[in-house]
Amino acid sequence: MILSVSRRTDVPNYYSEWFINRMKEGFLYVRNPMNTHQISKIDLSPDVVDCIVFWTKNPENMIGKLECLQNYLYYFQFTLTGYGKDIESNLPDKRKKLIPVFRELSEKIGKEKVIWRYDPILINGKYTMDYHLKAFEEIAGNLAGYTEKVVISFVDLYAKTKRNTRKLDIRQITDEEMIHMAAKMAQIALKYKLVIESCAEQIDLQKAGVRHGSCIDKKLIEKLSGCRLSGKKDKNQRGECGCIESVETGAYNTCLTGCKYCYANFSDERVKENVKLYDKVSPLLCGHINSGDRITDRKVKSLKITAGISSV
């Protein structure tokens, strides 16, 4: 089983104590967002957890707790962009804080286990293509030697994303602009010896030097673990997504970063109400068991099938 921590919220930033407590206790609960009375109990023993994939914009609160995960394989996807507080309102200064945190994490766990994400890319009067290319190169230069790969994607204007960004005057990016921008980013990545991949893009950017990527990456996990995996494509993700199947641990409407492009928060009010329910010792993230809830053991198992693989 691959554990996703989490596509729905920034667990390393805001809920690291909860997560470590769950790992120590050996299980956690996840509420089904489509059926709120349905709760799955997830076994977290090292025998079934093949890899933990962390998604975060600031893992600082997690770094000091990583020794608690010494029996687990894991890697981080660290989103670091050029946006200001008008887009990512609750993040600390990128240059003074987040780039040093990225470097610290890389030095602690290894550069192959810290993936840089520059996404989503949105275009408006302030955040122009030239702006992004300049920001991308500055960050790439600062992260050179501290990561091996960068992942890019262009913003998907979901209904809630359009609502949350309506004051930002975001415009649709044409295919030609995507290809041009991707090619420029690929040149920058090459300059700093970074592999560059795209995330769930419909457009084929390989001719621009950007290959299709997988955020929960079967090949990377096989390389890091030295084992072949039997997992298939995650059927719960978009058709363009290349991720291997995983078990999600987070909850929607619980992230406090305040990104305007976020698809996981439906409203600020719901986030505030949910965060009030946070209890670091509860099996549920931001919640407790209620009357009418039904808990079932989710059947999970290791995906490892062959040992002794040194490279993929």
Does 302 fall in a domain? yes
Confidence of residue 160 (pLDDT cuts 50, 70, 90): low
Residue 161 has pLDDT above 90, yes or no: no
Q: Which helix (H) or strand (E) holds 183?
A: helix 175-191
pLDDT for position 211: 93
Q: Are 42 and 80 in contact (CB under 8 A)?
A: no
Does 312 fall in a domain? no
> Between residues 166 and 179, which one has the greater pLDDT?
179
Could you give the number of structural domains in the chain? 1
Does 119 fall in a domain? yes
Which residue's structure tokens are 């991707």? 182
- What does the pLDDT average to over 98-106? 98
- Calpha distance 246→216 (Å, rounded): 8
pLDDT for position 56: 98
Record the pTM: 0.94
> What is the span of the domain harbouring residue 144?
2-307
Does 111 fall in a domain? yes
State the pairing for strand pair 35-43/27-32.
Answer: antiparallel
pLDDT for position 158: 66
User: pLDDT digit string (tens) for 177-233?
Assistant: 999 999 999 999 999 999 999 998 889 999 999 999 999 999 999 999 999 999 888
Residue 267 has pLDDT above 90, yes or no: no
Does 11 fall in a domain? yes
Q: Are 82 and 128 in contact (CB under 8 A)?
A: no
Confidence of residue 159 (pLDDT cuts 50, 70, 90): low
> Between residues 222 and 312, which one has the greater pLDDT?
222
User: pLDDT digit string (tens) for 32-50?
Assistant: 999 999 999 999 999 999 9
Q: Are 191 and 184 in contact (CB under 8 A)?
A: no
